[in-house]
Structures are given as C-alpha cells and as structure tokens.
Structure 1
C-alpha cells in the first residue's frame, strides 16, 4: 500500500505552518514567555476562523468536514511552533461547547490529577473544584493539580493521538534546530557537524522523528487504540529525547534563556504527563499482546 499525503493534505499542512509563522513567530513566542499564563484571545479567534478547532465538524454544522488524519497534520504544526493553549480540549469540544469551534471560547479539561490553562478557560470539562496552582516547568503551560483521581475531559484515543501529533511537531523542530546549529557553529575551525559524535546525535534525532511520524500518521488512518498507544509512546520518546539531544548539540548556549531549545524540552515534558502517556499506553499494548 502506498502511503503518502494527498495534495490537499500537504496544502493544509503548509497553510497551518504559514498561519503560525505569521501570527506566532519568534517575537510572539518570546512575548508569550514574558507574560506566562496569558492566552492571546485574538490568535485563538483567528485559529477558529481558519477552521483549526472545527476541522472535523461536518460542513452542515459549520465545520470543515475533514477527518482525523487532517487534524493530526494541523496539530503537528502547532506542536512544531510551540503554540500555547488548551488546543486539544478546545478542538474536541467543538460541536458540543458553544463558541469552541469558532475560537470564541477556550475550553480546558481535567486530565487525571492535572489540568492545563484553568484560569484562562471559559469552560472546564471535568471536576476542577479545589484545584491548586502548580509551578509549571513550562512557562507556556500553566498547570493546576486537582484533588483526587477524577478522570475527565479529552481522555479518549483522539486526545492521546493529537498529543502525539504535537510531540511529533516538537521532534521535527528540534531535529531542524540541531542540524542548523551543527552546520553553522564552528569549533577548531570546523563546523561542529563535522564531528562524528554530533553527527550521531543528529542522525538519532532524525530516525526517532521519522519513526514517530510513520506511527502517528498510520494511527490517524486506522484509529485503532493499539496503534494510537504505540504512536504516543514513539512520539513522546522522539520529543523528549530529541529535545535533550538538541540541547547537547547546542552545547552550553542551548541551556540559556535566550535559546528556544529549552522551551521545546519543557513542553515535551509537560505533554508527556498527559493522559495516555507511557504507563497507560504500555499497559494497553501489553493487554493486547497477552490477549
């Protein structure tokens, strides 16, 4: 079977990237870091107008009428750009929560004992009573701890896969950043990419990202829970280990606040803690193997 993106899918992916480059480039990213916990409502509405949240709603209901594979492509680009906000929860609430599809409403969700963006949300899915603010490692993802173990919000396979797509975006971006730095940075009169140790790091980055891409894209087509679990495991690994290795390629400057690499590391860590992460996906796959 040939598995390639269609021309329309490639156009969708390029369009989302262009929109985010225009509205959430590096200056906007740095402005968001400087004002943590604040969501750009104008950008949120623009995402809604572009159909980001209503991508899978039927056209008869005012949506775009596309499917899960197209949503995965859009979320991959959002992850690549480090776009902040409860994107998954708002996307999954389109069609059920008024204003979610158009970006007029921000929807957050309780995910186990954690919740993202509670204070900026117009609607919260799940019981968030007694939620306590946490000091988030990611300045672009405010967190709350929710008492008890009440599961809520987008805990289903679609949420797991869309998170995997965001992680794939991060894995792709840190691979690009590592290669760019390896080509431009010189040491001992040579680009650092000429050294074998750096070459191995960059090669590992690419292999993990492309392996995760194949799994995430395939899971978007099959929508099989086991495929989604495998895709999430590979995407989490590609994002977390990839961002770490990108730091190593950058050397000391990668750890500085002025570099963007640390933001990818922190976002990958936070996403990896969402529902459907390592333990849950491993258990799901184990049950399937034992059966």
Structure 2
C-alpha cells in the first residue's frame, strides 16, 4: 500500500495552510500573544465557514462529510500556526451544540481537570465534579486555563488524536525554524548548521517529527485506541523536545518575546497536559498491548 495523502487531501491541507497564512500570520500570532485571553470571533467564524468544525459532520446534516484522516491534516496545520482557541472541543461539538459547526458558538470542555478559554466560551461541556473553577496563570499566553476540582471526564479518543495532530504541526514548525536559523545564522565565518552539535539537534528534530507523523496518520486510518495512544505519546515528545531543541539552536534570542520559538514550547507543554497523554497514555497503551 502506498501510504500517502491523496491529491484531495493534499489540496485540503494546502488550503488550510493558505487560509491560516492569510488570517493568522506571524504578526497576528504575536499580536494575539500580546492580548492574552481574547479570542478572535471573526476568525472563528471564518474557520467555521471554511468547514473546519463541520469537517466530519455528514453532508445531510450540513457538514463537509469527510473523515478523521482529513481532520488530522487540518489540525496539524492549526498546530503549525499555533492557532489559539478550544479547537478540539468545538470540532467535536459540531452537530450536537447549535452553532458549533459554523463557528458562531465557541465550545470548550473540561479535560483532565482543566478547561481552556472558559471566559470566552459560549458553552462548557463538563461531566461530574464541581461547578466551581479556579483561574490559573497559564504558561502559554494563548491558552487561558481554569482548573475544575473533582472532575472525571474520560479522554475521548478522537480528542486525543486531534491533540496529537496539533502537537505534530507544532513539532514540524519547530523543525522548520531550527533548520532555517541554522542555515542563516553565522558564527566564525560560517553558518552554525555546519557545526556537528547543531547538525545533531536538527537531525533529531526531523527524526522525531517523521516518526510522530507516521504514527498519527496511521492512527487516523485505523482509529485503534492503542494506535492513538502511541501516536499521542510520540507527538507530545516530538513537540516538547523539538521545541526545546529549536530553542537550543536559536540560543538566547529564542527566549525573546519577539521570537516564535518560546511560544511553540509553551503551547506544546500546555497541550501535553490534556487528557490521553503522559502516564494515562502509557497505561492505556500497556494495557492494550498486554491484553
């Protein structure tokens, strides 16, 4: 089998990248980071109009009628652009919560005891626990967080996989930025990419991205819980370690507010706390493999 996206899937991915490059470029990213906690409703509705949230909703219900593979491709692009907002929750609510499919309604959900974008959301999905919330100081300026005590909401496998797709996109962007900087930044009269230590960092970035991409795409095809757990673990590692290595390649300038690199790392850290990752994913995978 030739395990490659079809021409239609490539066109879908290219279209999403073009939309985000036009509506949420690097300048817009920095502007959003400078005003944390505010969601761009116009962009949210534009995403809805492009079918982002209704992608898997059947056509007879007003959706696009595509599948999980296509959803993974567009969420990968969202992760690459560091697109803010409760994307996964709103996508999963399409067809259930009125207005979620068109982007008119912003939906968030309690996940692993945390809820993202609570104050900007129109609908909050919660199962069990307390209605009280505790505001947290989020590491990522583009992901405001609240803690909901006592909640117990099992991780939805689709949500786990879409988070993995976002992490994959972030990891790929970190790899792009590291290679670009290694080619253009010069020390001792030559690009820093000529030095072995930097070469090894960039090579490690690429390996982790491609391994995670193969796992995420395969899990989107099989929809198997064990495959999804493995994909999430690999994608989390690729995003977090990849952003850390990208920061190393950039040196001190990677920590500056004007740089995109620290935002990649912060978003990867916050996403990794969502349900289905970390110890939960390891335990699920171990149970599936030993069953």
Q: TM-score, normalised by structure 1?
A: 0.98
Give distance in 2, aligned partners of 1:48 and 1:168: 22
Q: Distance in 1 between matches of 2:261 and 2:276?
A: 25
Measured in 1, the distance between the counterparts of 2:257 and 2:45 equals 30
Correspondence 1:100 to 2:94? no
Q: Which residue does the alignment assign to 2:219?
A: 219
Equivalent residue in structure 2 for 1:130, among 124, 129, 132: 132
1:276 corresponds in structure 2 to 276
Structure 1 residue 77 corresponds to structure 2 residue 77:
yes
Q: How many angstroms does 1:112 deviate by?
A: 2.2
SS at match of 1:129: coil
* Pair 1:199 & 2:199 matched: yes
Q: Which consecutive unaligned segments of at least 5 residues does structure 1 have?
A: none
For residues 140 and 228 of structure 1, the distance between their equivalents in structure 2, rounded to whole angstroms, comes to: 26
| 1:1-291 alignment, distance < 5 Å | 1-126=1-126, 129-151=131-153, 155-291=155-291
Give the paired residue count: 289
CA deviations on 1:65-115 (whole Å, 9 max, x unpaired) are: 000000000000000000000000000000000000000000000012111
Give the superposition deviation at 1:288.
1.8
Q: Which 10-residue stretch deviates more, 280-289 or 164-173?
A: 280-289
SS at match of 1:85: coil
Return the alpha-carbon distance in structure 2 between the equivalents of residues 277 and 126 of structure 1: 19
Partners of 1:150 and 1:130 lie apart in 2 by 14
Question: TM-score when scaled to structure 2?
Answer: 0.98
SS in 1 for 2:84: coil
Q: Distance in 2 between matches of 1:141 and 1:285?
A: 28
Q: Distance in 2 between matches of 1:62 and 1:83?
A: 25
Tell me if structure 1 keeps the 8 A contact 2:226–2:289: no
Post-superposition offset of 1:289:
2.4
Q: Is the 8 A contact 2:165 2:235 kept in 1?
A: yes
| CA apart distance, 1:150 | 2.8
1-side partners of 2:37 and 2:288: how far apart? 40
Please give the alpha-carbon distance, in whole angstroms, between the structure 2 residues aligned to 1:149 and 1:40. 28
Instruction: Give the CA deviation at 1:26.
Output: 1.1
In 2, Cα distance between the equivalents of 1:176 and 1:32?
22
Q: What is the RMSD computed on CA atoms of the aligned residues?
A: 0.9
Runs of 4+ in 1 over 6 A off after TM superposition: none
Structure 2: distance between partners of 1:143 and 1:162: 19
